[in-house]
Amino acid sequence: MSGEPQFSDSIAAGEHALALSGRHPWSLCFQAIAYALWGKASEARAVHNELLARAAQGYVQPSVMMVSAVAIGEVEDAVALAQAGFEERDVFQIVTWHFPMGVDLRAVPRIQAIFDRLDAPDS
């Protein structure tokens, strides 16, 4: 069985979650991850851009945008968002470090350094 049906099922489930949640930022983040892992860069970027537009109109946790930025390869933005999350004491930043979501935050040394300052277990 190819991975393609799994990705399309994931995207469909994500669209349903977005509809149910009013396009909640975490739902947008996970949808961006799913598109990125599927290799659909333009779709992943469009979802990430929607997340950024939402943040321009109201508060969105830095951790949400950080994960989405890593998923689409925007490392510089992700590092800045990790720092913002650290400064704002975004508690979900610790969760993002340990939650298996297909995005390897540990692969970005400057994000690792910020997480090291959190003094979290296994950071």
Helix, strand, coil fractions of the chain, as percent rounded to 5: 75, 0, 25
- pTM listed for this prediction: 0.87
What integer pLDDT is reported at residue 119 of this predicted model?
Answer: 73
| Residue 4 binned pLDDT confidence (cut-offs 50, 70, 90) | low
Of 62-66, 84-88, 114-118, least confident by mean pLDDT is 114-118
Residues 6+ apart with CB under 8 A from 102: 33, 34, 37, 71
| Residue 74 binned pLDDT confidence (cut-offs 50, 70, 90) | very high
User: Could you give the percent of the chain with pLDDT greater than 70?
Assistant: 90
